[in-house]
Amino acid sequence: MVSLFQGVHHLPIWLLLFMSFWSLSEEGKLLVIPVDGSHWLSMHSLVLQLQQRGHHIVVAAPEVSALIEPSEHYTLKTYFVPYTKEYLEAEFRRLGHQVFTPRPFLERVTQTFARIGNITTFLLNSCKQLLSNKELIISLKESAFDAVLMDPIFLCGQAVAEYLSLPSIYFSRGIPCGLEFQAARCPNPPSYIPRFFTHYTDHMTFPQRMWNIIVSSALSWSCSLLYSSHEDLIRDFLQQDVTMTELLSHASIWLLKYDFAFEYPRPVMPNIVLIGGVTCGQQKPLSQEFESIVNASGEHGFVVFSLGSMVSEIPMKKAQQFAEAFGTIPQTILWRYTGQPPPNLANNTKLIKWLPQNDLLAHPKARAFITHGGSHGIYEGICNGVPMVLMPLFGDQMDNAKRIESRGAGVTLNVLDMTSKDLSAALNTVIYDKSYKENIMRLSALHLDRPIHPLDLAVHWIEFVMRHKGAPHLRPAAHDLNWIQYHSLDVIAFLLAVVLVAMFISWKCCLFCCRKCFCKKGRVSKSSKTKAQ
Amino acid sequence: MVSLFQGVHHLPIWLLLFMSFWSLSEEGKLLVIPVDGSHWLSMHSLVLQLQQRGHHIVVAAPEVSALIEPSEHYTLKTYFVPYTKEYLEAEFRRLGHQVFTPRPFLERVTQTFARIGNITTFLLNSCKQLLSNKELIISLKESAFDAVLMDPIFLCGQAVAEYLSLPSIYFSRGIPCGLEFQAARCPNPPSYIPRFFTHYTDHMTFPQRMWNIIVSSALSWSCSLLYSSHEDLIRDFLQQDVTMTELLSHASIWLLKYDFAFEYPRPVMPNIVLIGGVTCGQQKPLSQEFESIVNASGEHGFVVFSLGSMVSEIPMKKAQQFAEAFGTIPQTILWRYTGQPPPNLANNTKLIKWLPQNDLLAHPKARAFITHGGSHGIYEGICNGVPMVLMPLFGDQMDNAKRIESRGAGVTLNVLDMTSKDLSAALNTVIYDKSYKENIMRLSALHLDRPIHPLDLAVHWIEFVMRHKGAPHLRPAAHDLNWIQYHSLDVIAFLLAVVLVAMFISWKCCLFCCRKCFCKKGRVSKSSKTKAQ
């Protein structure tokens, strides 16, 4: 890892002294409030990096977690939650099976809403437990942190930050209802910025632009609905009247996990820092086991297949379909799978409980990557230049897949409708049609050609907030305007009124003048008439 | 200077090979089309840096220039212009005297417009000469450049870039009419982003917001007017119908010379890179002459006074006023001045033809900086943490001064109305009122706490454009929408029409139903009436 403060020889001595004093006298204390599951995985690598730079990290997490575990790298402080590890694992398994079960369209929509509702209730319950855990809150207050690093999907983190009067840094791929842009007062025109769940690109037809606007309003409304109980809870806790947008608008820095090699270009605000590829680190050598599988793959190379950390088991029928497709291609398949092996598994397919995904994708023999389209995996595909077959399951995955497909760097399959032939054809396309490799290599070159690694950039901005107790100089004055003022509607109305009044007065003046003239003329002509008589 | 490609150990081998191949096989050929005067000074340091990194630089400039001179660091290719060096110098002198001559308000406004008109005509004439210089254009075409670095105020540079089919990088503080945001399709709400020449901050009252909108429209209109002759000329040259906004929208990267320690926070686009402080380099040791002056200043320290590269002579009356003020303070004054020494010059005031401004400001004994408020000088003040007395003369200087003053890091004086007492009071305020020093130190700390030096950042993006033949992945789809589509006015009109038609049909249906019901009732009651009879 490169050292930060690059180019320090440009800096005056007083600032160097200030920085070294800051970093010697107190290494920095950071409170981390994460969200479990895949969200934690990418935050975890950032936490490790911060710990390596000498900061003391405290992670406040539910006492029952799928992936957040005690570690020598940070102090884990837990709070009670009313569920068990078994319940959590069963929920994850259920999710895996649910997304692979074909259902009619309307039922799928209802199911999606139900899933979002479930997640929100789950987060709300965790929030209740965290905020009511007085012992923990007092201990956090006594710890005198410099800042809070949090996942903004768990709004509770900001409530704690407000309570402790600490600046906060958000780490996220984005909030499905686009709340991050609303909260950061970042312009977000629906005419060329596709909304989550629409699966549109940035070039939309008229009906698509219309649907994009409707979805935008619907998402905004549903977010208000979903988070309303959070707001009530937080209002009680903070003893102040606050909305979720106001809460999130207090973020010092938004670390967003994408860049424009992947995301469509759009406006950003000064406190939005793009760190796409933050988890895509240096390639480590493969273990003996993987090295031998990879070498044995011969000239055809191998394919990496993983559906992410949340889904490792799938229904047997689907597994058989996958296995059948894999049997038709000459590449070796490395499949992350913990379920019962399908009986039709071909010799070229290896089922593995855990894959060193990044190191495998970085291998020159990696020919394709079958992924569910989580942003973590997608960036590993991009930074290693491996074309993808995308099988989006839920959340932002459909939209992520669309972005890769629209760049000609991958093929998207509908995991419910697809046949084994579709999968085999998709694999052959991305492996043998050269344009896919060329396109992913182009994206990779654009993504990797940056002045500083995104992990270093993320660390810089977290330390910046810790050093300066926030980043108020990056907060736009737009936060101090209401909706009408922001859009200058009051000024426009006033100017319109002035113009209308001016027009009315001019009209009246004209009328008056005309009347005067005509009357005069009339009188003159009358008098002349009289004279003439 | 730090090496670029920091964190290269994160990169895969193929990309490192590609980069080293690119940098070995062809160092890169860059065409630079600058604008003379202070604009060239900051571009010059970037050109030197690029040359040090092994690129071959060709500067295409008028054969008569105030500051652009032949150099061993680049090849200067000149084109004929119909004026002499003497004329140019006389014009600069005239400018110096003009801005110091008090005039009634209306005359000053007319004069400002006349000055802008003169500059535009001057640039237009240069453009005519450049585009009609077939020999030079052919030689540039044969040189096979990788990209063009230019000042966007000289629109002609983009015409050349289009003609040579080269990607372009713009280097600017901004275009007074805000054309950079229009061209980059960057949202620019007038409700909190003050326009040039208004001298407002980002917190505006209702009348200020109104005036800001009016100025915004007026600037946009005046820009169209000023640049219309350029458009005609370029249309003839390129043999294609193009507007100035379209031309400027082809920029691959906008390198803008500010950051949010100085500028008010606002939205930016992916191809806008902020490089404020690009010219504020490493402190070099002072020469014997300056070292002795500075050391002799004792505990009171010294004040640096410069009105920029364009104004080194001023009317004697004003010079005497300055000299009188300087005599009242205990600090030594280092005044960059080439004119006749004023007779009342005190012992503590040293007139010097050329100042090592940055090195002097970096000295711990520097107490204040009297500046005209050019962005170059202001950033030297910020990065060295020296409070300022600002005497804005023309262009963006008034707005720059406002930004420093609103941060409590300087005092602005009206150079026409001020007395020697005002100047002496302003100097005492910024030197002895601790808040000024504290505020400038805070700005300095925020400005300098960055992950990479702005000069390295500028070099990175120029090389990025050279390596990738542009940066189309940073170009938002907004460029492919017209004004109505961008603001979704067509969609809103359609949705409104649908709602109105639906309401109309519902209304008609209701009416129809009501009529049916009443008629029926009427008939029923009639028939029952008949029955009753």
CA A430 – CA A440 distance, rounded (Å): 10
Domain layout of chain A by residue ranges? 8-186+240-280+452-476, 302-448
CATH superfamily of A302-448: Glycogen Phosphorylase B; (3.40.50.2000)
Position A21 scores a pLDDT of: 47
Do B474 and A260 make contact, defined as CB atoms within 8 angstroms?
A: yes
B239 Rama sector, left if φ>0, alpha if ψ -120 to 50, beta otherwise:
left
User: If DSSP codes are grouped into helix, strand and coil, which group holds residue A80?
Assistant: coil
CA B181 – CA B268 distance, rounded (Å): 8
Residue A202 has its nearest CB partner, among B9, B456, B477, at: B477
CA A465 – CA A477 distance, rounded (Å): 19
Bridge partners, residue B95, by sequence? none
Residue A389's H or E segment, with its range, is strand A388-390
Fold held by B23-280+453-478: Rossmann fold (3.40.50)
The phi, psi pair for A101, rounded to 5°, reads -100, 120
Position A2 scores a pLDDT of: 35
Residue A281 has its nearest CB partner, among B10, B187, B453, at: B10
CA distance A152 to chain B (A): 21
Of B392, B397, B375, the closest CA to residue B41 belongs to B375
Same fold, B23-280+453-478 and B288-448: yes
Cβ contacts of residue A424 below 8 Å, gap of 6+?
A325, A326, A328, A329
Do the strands A366-371 and A302-306 form a parallel or antiparallel pair, or are they unpaired?
parallel
CB B349 within 8 A of CB B333: yes
Q: Which residue of B has its CA nearest to A17?
A: B445
Task: Give the residue from B21, B208, B449, B483 with the most A CB atoms within 10 Å of its CB, the best one to mutate.
Answer: B449
Residues of B in contact with A448 (CB under 8 A): 10-12, 15
Position A4 scores a pLDDT of: 42
Q: Which residue of A has its CA nearest to B264?
A: A476
Q: Angle between the A454-468 and A38-52 helix axes, to the nearest 10 degrees?
A: 70
What is the total residue count of chain B? 533
Residue A467 has its nearest CB partner, among B449, B476, B490, at: B449
- Show pLDDT as tens, one digit a residue, over chain B (533 residues): 334 444 444 555 555 555 544 444 458 999 999 999 888 988 999 999 999 999 999 999 999 998 999 999 999 999 999 888 888 888 777 777 777 877 787 887 787 778 778 888 888 999 999 999 999 999 999 999 999 999 999 999 999 999 999 999 999 998 878 899 999 999 999 999 999 888 899 999 999 999 999 999 998 888 888 888 899 999 999 999 999 999 999 999 999 999 999 999 999 999 999 999 998 877 788 889 899 999 999 999 999 999 887 776 788 888 999 999 999 999 999 999 888 899 999 999 999 988 999 999 999 999 999 999 998 999 999 999 999 999 998 888 999 999 999 999 999 999 888 999 999 999 999 999 999 999 999 999 999 999 999 999 999 999 999 999 999 999 999 999 999 999 999 999 999 999 999 999 999 999 998 888 876 655 555 555 554 44
C-alpha distances in Å from residue B173, one per residue of A155, B38, B165? 39, 11, 25
The phi, psi pair for B113, rounded to 5°, reads -65, -40
C-alpha distances in Å from residue A459, one per residue of A250, B111, B322? 20, 51, 48
Do A189 and B488 make contact, defined as CB atoms within 8 angstroms?
A: yes
Which CATH architecture describes the domain B288-448? 3-Layer(aba) Sandwich (3.40)
What is the total residue count of chain A? 533
Neighbours of B258 (CB within 10 A): 22
Helix %, strand %, coil % of chain B (to 5): 55, 10, 35
Do B210 and A475 make contact, defined as CB atoms within 8 angstroms?
A: no
The phi, psi pair for A401, rounded to 5°, reads -60, -40
Helical spans, DSSP H, in A26-173: 38-52, 85-99, 105-132, 134-142, 156-163
Do A2 and B1 make contact, defined as CB atoms within 8 angstroms?
A: no
Neighbours of B163 (CB within 10 A): 16
Position B15 scores a pLDDT of: 54
Give me the sign of the Cα torsion angle A246, A251, A253, A259: negative
Of B303, B450, B278, the closest CA to residue B363 belongs to B303
Residue B453 has its nearest CB partner, among A10, A385, A481, at: A10
Q: Which residue of B has its CA nearest to A364?
A: B14
CB-based burial, B224-241: b 16+ in 10 Å, e otherwise: eebbeebbebbeebbeee
- pTM for this predicted structure: 0.91
CA distance B29 to chain A (A): 19
Where do we find the tokens 């050609």? A449
Would you state the structure tokens that stand for residue A339, as one six-digit string? Answer: 């379920």
Position B113 scores a pLDDT of: 78
Do B192 and A486 make contact, defined as CB atoms within 8 angstroms?
A: yes
**CATH 3.30.565.10 matches A8-186+240-280+452-476:** no
CA A328 – CA B243 distance, rounded (Å): 56
DSSP string covering B106-153: HHHHHHHHHHHHHHHHHHHHHHHHHHH-HHHHHHHHHT--SEEEE-TT
Cα atoms found within 13 Å of the Cα of residue B199, Cβ hemisphere only? 11
CA distance A235 to chain B (A): 29
Do A383 and B12 make contact, defined as CB atoms within 8 angstroms?
A: yes
Report chain B's terminal Cα–Cα distance, integer Å: 111
Do the strands A272-274 and B349-352 form a parallel or antiparallel pair, or are they unpaired?
unpaired
Do B488 and A191 make contact, defined as CB atoms within 8 angstroms?
A: yes
C-alpha distances in Å from residue A468, one per residue of A166, A315, B129, B265? 11, 52, 52, 17
- Show pLDDT as tens, one digit a residue, over chain A (533 residues): 334 444 444 555 555 555 544 444 458 999 999 999 888 988 999 999 999 999 999 999 999 998 899 999 999 999 999 888 888 888 777 777 777 877 787 887 787 778 778 888 888 999 999 999 999 999 999 999 999 999 999 999 999 999 999 999 999 998 878 899 999 999 999 999 999 888 899 999 999 999 999 999 998 888 888 888 899 999 999 999 999 999 999 999 999 999 999 999 999 999 999 999 998 877 788 889 899 999 999 999 999 999 887 776 788 888 999 999 999 999 999 999 888 899 999 999 999 988 999 999 999 999 999 999 998 999 999 999 999 999 998 888 999 999 999 999 999 999 888 999 999 999 999 999 999 999 999 999 999 999 999 999 999 999 999 999 999 999 999 999 999 999 999 999 999 999 999 999 999 999 998 888 876 655 555 555 554 44
CA A389 – CA A387 distance, rounded (Å): 7
Position B12 scores a pLDDT of: 53
Position B312 scores a pLDDT of: 63
CA A523 – CA A512 distance, rounded (Å): 16
Do A6 and B451 make contact, defined as CB atoms within 8 angstroms?
A: yes
Do B451 and A456 make contact, defined as CB atoms within 8 angstroms?
A: yes
CA B222 – CA B239 distance, rounded (Å): 25
Task: Give the residue from B192, B280, B283, B484 with the most A CB atoms within 10 Å of its CB, the best one to mutate.
Answer: B192
- Taking CB atoms and an 8 Å cut-off, how many pairs form between chains A and B? 209
Would you state the structure tokens that stand for residue A174, as one six-digit string? Answer: 């984005």
Q: ipTM more than 0.85?
A: yes
CA B459 – CA A150 distance, rounded (Å): 34
